[in-house]
Structure 1
Amino acid sequence: MESLLALAKSFHKGFYVYRSKSDCLRVLRATQKLSLPWWNRRCTEFVETLESSIESVTDASFSSGTRQPIIVLEGLDGVGKTLISHTLASKLEGIPLHTPPSEWSDIRPLFLNQDNALLRAFYSGSNYIAASGILHAAQERVVVLDRWWCSTCAMALANQFTTRTLPPEGDAVYEWPSDLPKPNVGFYIFVDEQVRRARIRKRAPEDSEEQRLSAESEMRAAAAEAYRRTHLLHPIEAPNYRAAVNSILAFLTERGILHSGVPFTDSELREISSF
């Protein structure tokens, strides 16, 4: 196990952020070879799927000029990303997707119980597996994505660092991986912390990472700062999901991203309460 973790560290450099598909694969293949008690056939299928996922984002059929926009929504759990993404996709006549892909939800708990290096390899690998479906969907329709690479990066760093000890602004760790398709635009959704925690309490039991986020203000601050340092996300306050959707539609219009979305009217905004 020590040799496996040493191999993983040679790729994530102590940040627990993997920079390429090949790095994730090497760690996961090495894990598979150890025949650990928790590893099962589905884990092997995950590795095989990752191996066969898109090899290059330079393929002309996947270029940003020949596909519909890919919009990614990021933010902490409980800020309303899922509701906002589905509503926004409906407004844009697009398709809502999320990462990690739900087809691998059965093995996520297995990785959650392993060393952080292996968990982050799973999350990173999931980004590449999701990419093929995202790109194919974007050939026909706008894609609104609930989480992608920025979450993988921000949460890995927030688990290891404080706002004082995060890698400095401009560090390569915050750069989008060169072998992963990049969205056209990204948004960081945020709400008041009391609202976020109230929404979380209404859900199923929190996993250990979310429990820490709820309990530790420093971890939340580190995650928020890591998101900001990617310089890929535009902040959107979400007093309610319709207001957030309107803000996003307005931003798309300002940036010249053509869309068919019609904002909610004032009366439609008034008829719902805050999150």
Structure 2
Amino acid sequence: MVTKSKKPNGCTCVVLQCIPFIPEAQAVLDLVDQLPEQVHKGKFPVIAVEGLDATGKTTVTQSVSDTLGAVLLKSPPACISQWRKIFDDEPTIIRRAFYSLGNYIVASEIAKESTKSPVIIDRYWHSTATYAIATEVTGGLQYLPPAHHPIYQWPRDLLRPDLVLLLTVSPKKRMQRIEGRGVERTREEAELEADSMFRQKVEVSYQRMENPACHVVDASPSREKVLQTVLGIIQNNFS
């Protein structure tokens, strides 16, 4: 598959305007400018793992990567994740532009690595899209764009994964996991905790994503059981 990697102009413009008060924005744009005009997906499978915070993405992606001998990537990628906290503290439009550009940067890494081995991605475009939709849509679930709306479609100019797995757990179990972490919570984690409607809008948006759709995985059982389920899905899709 060949995908043009032209960067979304709206996002680059937003980040460009941030340079006077966020010096790191220039470094992000420098990396974006280095992206090739086209990226070619390799012959090996590309699998994205999505889900709310504390649904087990880190554990699952690392375990699957180890089991399959796959390269593990994250979005935002390592080259810009050091500035994640800076952009997380900014208004939504700036935060989303940062994460969107991160997807295009990691797409270039995916293209390179998928020529040599399977690729597992800890979050990708679906995360960026669902959080943006949930943030921008005020009110309840009825105000979300209807199923099959273009907003739920994968961008034409972004390298597409072969499979997307959506890890889910009950709100209660997710909260228990967050409390057991003992680490500082991101703004999004705090918002998910404080606003159940926001969380529901994110979850419904995930379920409405298309081309590719999310394959829902119950991540409530033991990590061994979840890994078994995930590996079974992967085997069925790429046998």
Q: TM-score with structure 1 length normalisation? A: 0.78
Residue number among 208, 214, 219 corresponding to 1:233 in the alignment = 214
Deviation per residue, 1:54-76 (Å, 9 max, x gap): 3234xxxx24xx42100000000
Q: Secondary structure at the match of 1:97?
A: strand
Question: Are 1:20 and 1:177, in contact at CA under 8 Å, matched by a contact in 2?
Answer: no
Superposed CA RMSD in Å reads 1.7
Contact 1:54 1:128 in 2 (8 A): no
Is the CA contact (8 Å cut-off) linking 1:25 and 1:51 kept in structure 2?
no
| Alignment correspondent of 1:185 | 163
Shift of 1:156: 1.1
Task: Find runs of 4+ consecutive structure 1 residues off by over 6 angstroms.
Answer: none
Which sits farther off after the overlay, 198-207 or 72-81?
198-207
Q: Distance in 2 between matches of 1:157 and 1:217?
A: 15
- Residue 35 of structure 2 corresponds to 53
Q: Which of the residues 60, 64, 86 maps onto 1:110?
A: 86
Match of 2:176 in 1: 198
2:14 corresponds to: 27
Deviates more, 1:73-82 or 1:213-222: 213-222
Q: Which amino acid in structure 1 is aligned with residue 31 of structure 2?
A: T
1:127-159 C-alpha deviation (Å, 9 max, x unpaired): 011111121111111111110000000111122
Q: Which moved more, 1:143-152 or 1:214-223?
A: 214-223
Q: Which has the higher strand share?
A: 2
Bigger CA drift: 235-244 or 141-150? 235-244
Whole-angstrom CA distance in 2 between matches of 1:156 and 1:240 = 31
Contact kept in structure 1, 2:18 and 2:25, CA below 8 Å: no
What's the secondary structure of 2:143's corresponding residue?
coil
Could you tell me how far apart the structure 1 residues matched to 2:94 and 2:184 are? 23
Counterpart in the other structure of 2:73 = 97
SS at match of 2:115: coil
**CA shift for structure 1 position 20:** 5.4
Q: Which residue of 1 aligns with 2:154?
A: 176
1:91-111 deviation per Cα after TM superposition (whole angstroms, max 9, x unaligned): 111121111113323322222
Which of 69-78 and 197-206 deviates more?
Answer: 197-206
Shift in Å at residue 46 of structure 1?
A: 0.7
Unaligned ranges ≥5, structure 2: 1-5
Task: Say if 2:57 and 2:167, in contact at 8 Å, map to a contact too.
Answer: yes
**Cα separation, 2, equivalents of 1:223 and 1:212:** 11
1:121 counterpart SS class: helix
Amino acid at match of 1:85: T
Contact 1:70–1:184, Cα closer than 8 Å, also in 2: yes
Amino acid at match of 1:210: E
Partner-residue secondary structure (3-state), 1:153: helix
Structure 2 residue identity aligned to 1:168: P
Q: Contact 1:94 / 1:141 at 8 angstroms: preserved in 2?
A: yes
The one-letter amino acid paired with 2:44 is Q
Q: 2: CA distance between counterparts of 1:229 and 1:151? A: 12
The one-character-per-residue Cα deviations of 1:185-225 (angstroms, maximum 9, x if unpaired) are: 01100112211111111231212221110122211111010
Q: Note the residue ranges of structure 1 that are not aligned, 5 or more in a row.
A: 1-18, 259-275
**Identical residues among aligned pairs (%):** 29
TM-score by length of 2: 0.89
SS of residue in 2 equivalent to 1:134: helix
- The alignment covers a number of residue pairs equal to 228
